[in-house]
């Protein structure tokens, strides 16, 4: 499976525009985490570059899923306000931050920038990209 990721140039320009300086080395790390083919590859990067995320994974009895490790590592590298999940609600047009059904997959996962319309990294339609979660909710209402 081909793993696509935003370019280093796009990462730097997007997050610089949100008043978050993103050094090239950190943008390269973000891209490597997104493009990593498996959990072990993500963990190898996290061990070296993301001490908070590495500590969290070490406390888990079972290794968290690759997507969750990626999300927490990206949150740490971007210094955002945590990882958030959007699930479909019980009624059309409703959205929740916790699944109504424990087997439900999230509609989107994103690094919380504090504003629904500020660009962030989000996992939507089976890929990581730059976007905003406000648009995700509106387009699925």
Report yes or no: 101 and 80 within 8 Å, Cβ to Cβ: no
Return mean pLDDT, the chain: 89
Residue-number span of the structural domain to which 58 is assigned: 8-139
Residues 19-62 pLDDT 10s: 788 999 999 999 999 999 999 999 999 999 999 999 999 999 99
Which residues are within 8 A (CB) of 36 and not within 5 positions of it... i.e. 6 or more apart?
A: 3, 42, 45, 66, 70
Is residue 41 in a domain? yes
For the stretch 68-87, pLDDT in tens is: 999 999 999 999 999 999 88
pLDDT grade, residue 89 (50/70/90)?
Answer: low
pLDDT at position 131 is: 94
Q: Please report whether residue 3 resides in a domain.
A: no
pTM (two decimals): 0.89
d(CA 53, CA 36): 16
In a domain, 12, yes or no: yes
DSSP letters spanning 76-95: HHHT-S-EEEEEE-SSTT-E
The two tokens of residue 49 are 């570059």
Q: What confidence score (pLDDT) does residue 23 get? A: 93
Q: From CA 73, how far away is CA 140, in angstroms rounded?
A: 27
Total domains, the chain = 1
* Residue 1 resides in a domain: no
Contacts of residue 56, defined as CB under 8 A and 6 or more positions apart, other chains included, come to 64, 72
């Amino acid at each position: 499976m081909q793993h696509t990721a935003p370019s280093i140039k796009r990462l730097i320009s997007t997050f610089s525009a949100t008043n978050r300086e993103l050094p090239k080395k950190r943008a390269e790390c973000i891209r490597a985490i997104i493009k990593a083919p498996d959990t072990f590859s993500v963990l190898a990067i996290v061990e070296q570059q993301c001490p908070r995320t590495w500590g969290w994974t070490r406390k888990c009895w079972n290794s968290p899923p690759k997507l969750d490790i990626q999300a927490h590592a990206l949150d740490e590298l971007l210094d955002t306000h945590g990882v958030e999940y959007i699930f479909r609600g019980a009624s059309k047009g409703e959205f929740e931050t916790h699944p109504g059904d424990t087997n439900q997959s999230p509609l989107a996962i994103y690094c919380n920038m504090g504003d629904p319309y500020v660009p962030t990294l989000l996992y939507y339609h089976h890929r990581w990209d730059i976007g905003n979660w406000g648009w995700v909710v509106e387009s699925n209402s």
